[in-house]
Amino acid sequence: MALKDSRPLSPHLQIYKLPLTAMMSVLHRGTGVVISIGTLFLVWILAKAAMGPEAFEGTQNLVGSWFGYLVLFGFTFSLYAHFCNGIRHLLWDMGYGFDVSKANAGAIASLGAAIALTVLTWIVAFAAS
């Protein structure tokens, strides 16, 4: 005889909307992974550059393509997002910003700062080239 359970199932991501601080936590972990992979990519670029101009030429073509710029833009955003969110966590470690409104404001400020710093970095990089 099977038991009939009429209780509702636990909420899942199709029903339950994650709070902003939870989404920022996921973003922080994701950017950490992207930074790790991006660092390996940068080491590969440096290794090709150390091998000489012929070896670096193909790498330079890849990095200078639209796909290379997209990867570097994502890497830049990941660095700034992880850094800004780390500052937010540092403030939490010091005991600031625990109420929900302040935590949400800190998350928005962290994300906004990361976007602004990314765009500013790319503006300066293109202005210098």
Task: Give residue 119's domain range.
Answer: 21-35+65-128
End-to-end CA distance of the chain: 75
Identify whether 103 is part of a domain: yes
> pLDDT tens across 45-60, in order?
999 999 999 989 999 9
Identify whether 28 is part of a domain: yes
pLDDT of residue 2: 59
The CATH number that applies at residue 77 is 1.20.1300.10
Identify whether 29 is part of a domain: yes
- Give the relative orientation of helices 100-128 and 66-93 as an angle to the nearest 10 degrees: 140
What's the whole-model pTM score?
0.85
